[in-house]
Amino acid sequence: MPAGKKAVSDFLADLLDKDLKGGVEEVLAIGSVVKDAKRHLTDTDFRDLRDRAPFQEKVWSKLLQIGLDDRLSSIKDALPSGWSSIHQIHCLNDEELKEAVEQGVIHPRVSQGAINRWLKHFRFEEGTEQAEGTFSDLVMVQSPEGAAEQDLERFKGDLEKLVSVYGFRLRYGTEDSMAVLRQQRSSDKAHELASALAKDLRSTWEGADESLKTLFSLTSLDDLVQSPMASFTGFLNRVRGGREEFWRFHGKDYVNKNALEYLKSDSRGQRFNYRRRLKEVAEKQSHLATCISQTLEEWMKY
């Protein structure tokens, strides 16, 4: 073997040294190893490596596709940790990937169902792609009265994955079903916004005194993002030493927090109050007026 040329055993050792469930960095690293093996090994040796690797054949194929996608490394901070979700994102074309990143659809906690719903909206509702063929109703699915919301969300996500495998489509035809779809979109947007808010507040959280975190019963950055509004503003006020500095450093965070609570609420009255509150803030804090206007339009119209 020529000096410097890697053998099947070398690539296998690289793969065994990594964990497919170890997060984005590990998944991309595994994909890179598979890609390099494809480029440097003979077809026979590459098949041998595939057979000896600790992955099923269909997983191996998707890892190769991930490794060959040079776009993913540039957005790795926004990628979810699961290899199947990363492969789903790989399947987006350049325009779809660009829009999904810019709109904040792709973030570390995004679900495959959320991506599928956004993609359906982008392709068919935005008119970037026309649905091909004709479809007919096949079955009506009914849920038991009083089913838990988390069970319904999980079922709908699984159902969307299933129909996509067979090339089928889901159709929400009744007003009740459309209300469910709107709730799904609000939930998806809430996850996007919570991720953005956590990113903006990370340095503040890491620099805050532990005594303040204990005072407000906060054990993690996610606790802060999801905390009641009074705790959220109280903590940041104490960190900055007063309301003036709060509005200076965290005015945008406050706007985003209101939008997050708006998206999480299913009460029309509460949602009205969140919008009204931001309009009042825009009158008193003029430097936030543009931000609030954009937030009302982008996040608080669903």
Say whether pLDDT at 180 is over 60: no
Confidence of residue 129 (pLDDT cuts 50, 70, 90): very low
166 phi/psi in degrees, rounded to 5:
-95, 0
265-282: per-residue pLDDT in tens? 888 788 888 999 999 999
Sorted by sequence, the CB contacts under 8 Å of residue 259 that are 6+ apart come out as 193, 274, 278, 295, 299, 300
pLDDT for the residue 131 = 44
Q: CB neighbours (10 Å) of residue 101?
A: 17
- Per the structure block, which two tokens stand in for 150? 């988390």
85-119: per-residue pLDDT in tens? 999 999 998 888 998 998 888 999 888 888 888 88
233-259: per-residue pLDDT in tens? 999 999 999 999 999 999 999 999 999
Task: Indicate the pTM of the whole model.
Answer: 0.49
Tell me how far apart the alpha carbons of residues 239 and 220 are, in angstroms, rounded to a whole number: 15
How far is residue 35 from each of residues 85, 88, 273, measured CA to CA in Å?
A: 19, 18, 53
Which stretches of the chain are DSSP H helices?
Answer: 8-16, 24-40, 43-52, 57-68, 83-90, 94-102, 112-120, 149-166, 175-207, 210-215, 221-226, 229-240, 243-264, 268-284, 289-298
